[in-house]
Structure 1
Amino acid sequence: MQTLTLLIEKLKKNRILSETEFITLLDGLKEDTKAAAMLQQEAQKTALEHFGNAVYIRGLIEFTNFCRNDCFYCGIRKSNFEAVRYHLSKDAIMECCRIGYDLGFRTFVLQGGEDMSYSDQAMYEIISTIRQAYPDCAITLSAGERDKETYQLWFDAGANRYLLRHETADPEHYRKLHPPRMRYEHRIQCLKDLKSIGYQTGTGFMIGSPFQTTAQLAQDLKFIHELQPEMIGIGPFIPHVDTPFKNQPAGSAERTLHLISILRLMRPEALIPSTTALGTIHPEGRELGILAGANVVMPNLSPLDVRKNYLLYNDKICTGEEAAESIEKLKEKMSRIGYRIVTDRGDYRKGDDCHV
């Protein structure tokens, strides 16, 4: 059997392993601390080679917590009648952008549930207004599954990027996490549509989601290799008290860090966030994610009075360094581990153009 060291070296050289090799690596890292340290060091070295010590910031605007879907793991699922619902007006969204721009943000991320009260045209107007007001900024959307015509409309309005996690690359596992009306095949088609239109496309998956096996994580990694997304967002599963999975155990911070490092070696130029979920499950999760190979953080620009209501999982941090108002504290934390926050848009740039 190949040693973990050889597998890490093979991954760095070829950017891909077989599913069996991925399983061997992922399972072995839980016990082999020396191999885990080597993986982290190689991933950090790769990130530094491509981006220097730059960490890109994205201004997160959680513009609605209404959702037509009923995903079994999500706190804003349709059937959660305990959720305090809200959606932001165009003026409120623009105020978030104004505050963010003044703080130095040059990417705005509009994230929300699949709230159909925003018509395609209403979203077009919001996006085009942001584009006209802030022509030097990138606009990222994370608004779920839509048809290709809608994605094209929003791209034409000025959106640059789109985030849509596939959550799991195993169709059977997907059905265990979602209600019957949601189809794995449609989720994957949406990602293909986004790529074909020209969006910088992001996908990703949960670590430790209910019923997940190491083999399924290996499938996720193979899917990432096939799709070649420009952005990859992963984080540990954290249960929410008002969902069917409320009693399921949370995912592992350690395994999440291993997978960030693996993904960095697979996709050296990718934009990989150190997520709020990782910061929620571990007090130094945000910093550890950066040291594992991530290069993006997403402070929250949403209005203070609604942040506590966008709860995808239990105990989500909504004040502190993930909040835009604490950007100086975030800078200090990144500085302590040898990194610097930059206000560059942080577009995906392949090859030698990545380095800043």
Structure 2
Amino acid sequence: MTQDLERILMKNDLSDEEIVTLLGLTDPEDCRKLQERAYALTTERMGPNVYLRGLIEVSNICTANCRYCGIRKSNQTVTRYTLDEDVIVGCALHAAEKGYGSIAVQAGERRDEKWIAFIERVLRRIHAETTSDALPNGLGVTLSLGEQTLEVYERWAEACGNPGGLRYLLRIESSNPTLFHALHSTPGRFEKILEHRYEALRNLRRAGYQVGTGVMIGLPGQTLEDLKNDIRTFQMLDADMIGMGPYITSLGADMTSEGMMQKTPLLQLAFNMIATTRLVMKDVNIATATALDTLDPNGRVGGILHGCNVVMPNITPQATRKSYQLYDNKAGTEVGAESNILMERKIVEMTGRTLGLNRLGSSLHWVRRAGVAPN
């Protein structure tokens, strides 16, 4: 494999068969070569910085019933909450003071006007109150608030007030229609349909966002061919950023009986997927997922070593973090915001990277398409 692998790793464009080969690597030496190539390409195309996105988990109230998720509507054991407007803005101010450059606003999925207007109002305040000499356009904002209409995306984009740091993460979870349906097959007011997901991603592009998507890795019934097709879907969508991680079961979900992969092979598969996505997509932002740390204490370090260039320290008030468990044993729920930024600094230093403080860290893929200066 070694000579063939070295040839594959140096190619600019990979075939479907070659992508499947890289995803399926298990030999430690082969995996090391893949990791080193992905890290080198990240340095070459993206530079040495790892960018911060301070994660604010605004609410765990959700109208959806996705079978894999711990905050699904039907989970009666979770304590529901929505953070106060002042608390959310306070988290954003903390991020700005610590040099994060950007935040990520995440919540369960809702589409009622009261919620839409609440988010709009919060975003206006965040922009107004974080504009400074260090951040002349305020914090960059990544929203992860599910499928909405084009009009809602446009309202939130205008409220963010920072078109150079405007991002939205809407994961597809799987591009395999059968798998997607199995993950979202519970009937409800907002039952998920894969084509609707794609239309929402197209609407995000129309509304001016840097568009992010991603999948779960190691799903029951998922194949290497499925993961290869996921990467091809990222290309088809012309994604600017990717957020993906290993599938981990949740006791509050509806899939525990289907089990999950053993931790060691699952972690390697996740690393292979990250590295291969970097080789194919080249200049997109890729976040190192907290779920990697749930599999291994140095999981996010491994993510950066395999091609990730974004970290997302949790700056949500500690009192509510245990109520935002999308999967079991989520890492980072026991430490406060101050400890998290120190942890991220340590993680980045361990990988030979530097923190891109007071930088929006926008996707270079988007920067080149938009014809603007890197920020």
Q: Deviations over 1:94-129 (max 9, x none)?
A: 111122222222101100111346432222111111
Which residue among 360, 363, 370 is the counterpart of 1:345?
360
Tell me: CA distance 1:353–1:149, structure 2 relative to 1, closer, same or farther (3 Å).
closer
Superimposed CA distance per residue, residues 30-59 of structure 1 (whole angstroms, 9 cap, x where no aligned partner): 2x3333222111110011113332111110
What residue is the counterpart of 2:78 in the other structure? 83
The alpha-carbon deviation at position 317 of structure 1 amounts to: 1.3
Unmatched segments (≥5 aa) in structure 2 = 131-136
Match of 1:120 among 116, 123, 135: 116
Q: Does 1:192 align with 2:202?
A: yes
Residue 249, structure 1, aligned to residue 260, structure 2: yes
Letter in 2 for 1:249: M
Report if aligned partners of 2:170, 2:201 keep a CA contact under 8 Å in 1: yes
Question: What corresponds to 1:92 in structure 2?
Answer: 87
CA deviation after TM superposition for structure 1 residue 69, in Å: 0.5
TM-score by length of 2: 0.87
Q: Distance in 2 between matches of 1:320 and 1:68?
A: 27
Alpha-carbon distance in structure 2 between the residues aligned to 1:276 and 1:307: 13
Stretches of 4+ aligned residues off by more than 6 angstroms: 352-356
For 1:205-244, list aligned pairs within 5 A: 205-244=215-254
How many residues end up aligned between the 2 structures?
A: 350
Residue 36 (structure 1) aligned to one of 27, 31, 38? 31
Identity level (%) = 35
**Are residue 261 (structure 1) and residue 259 (structure 2) matched?**
no
The 3-state SS of whatever aligns with 2:287 is coil
Aligned residue type for 1:17? S
Structure 2 counterpart of 1:129, one-letter code: R
Structure 2 partner of 1:61: 56
Alignment match of 2:150 (pick from 148, 162, 173): 148
Amino acid in the other structure paired with 1:24: T
Q: Secondary structure at the match of 1:195?
A: helix
Q: Quick one: distance in 2 between partners of 1:323 and 1:41? A: 32
Q: TM (normalized to structure 1)? A: 0.92
Shift of 1:337: 2.9
Residues 134-170 of structure 1 deviation map (CA, whole Å, 9 limit, x = unaligned) = 2331111000011111111111212611000011111
- Tell me which residue corresponds to 2:304: 290
Shift of 1:321: 7.3
Unaligned runs of 5+ in 1: none
Q: Is the 8 A contact 2:300 2:347 kept in 1?
A: no
Corresponding residue of 2:134: none
Cα distance, 1:241–1:107 mapped onto 2, change above 3 Å? same
What is the deviation of 1:79?
A: 0.5
Moved more, 323-332 or 267-276: 323-332
